[in-house]
Amino acid sequence: MDIFAREAAATAAAVFLGAAAFVLVNALLNRVLVGFASGAKNLLAFGSGLFLASLLVPVKRRFSDAIERFQYGETYRARRALLDFSRSGVESGTWRCSPRRSRRPFPTR
């Protein structure tokens, strides 16, 4: 349950930060580009929105890591090392289930 709460909080924080940045950039474009055509302003606003949207996932990941570091405190580094170790073993194929290993070692009655 704590994983879902952490991810929800990180997503909400990243979306809020992105929306606030978009509003600020849009207000700045409207103040600076007074004489420009509205099409050019809209194009720049759209481009800035795409740029900010591309930053959403990395910012969410940073927020999630910061919340996880706060949540686990002293044991964060050990948990992260164990998680990275297990992911590397699964990705390299070291820990694969084979039919031979999944059978019971002793016959049952």
One-character DSSP codes across 4-73? HHHHHHHHHHHHHHHHHHHHHHHHHHHHH-SSS-HHHHHHHHHHHHHHHHHTHHHHHHHHHHHHHHHHHG
Residue 34 amino acid letter: V
Task: Give, for all 109 residues of the chain, the pLDDT tens digit.
Answer: 688 999 999 999 999 999 999 999 989 988 888 877 888 888 888 999 999 999 999 999 999 999 988 988 888 888 888 888 888 877 776 656 555 555 555 556 5
Q: What is the pTM of this model?
A: 0.67
Structure token pair of residue 94: 């070291």
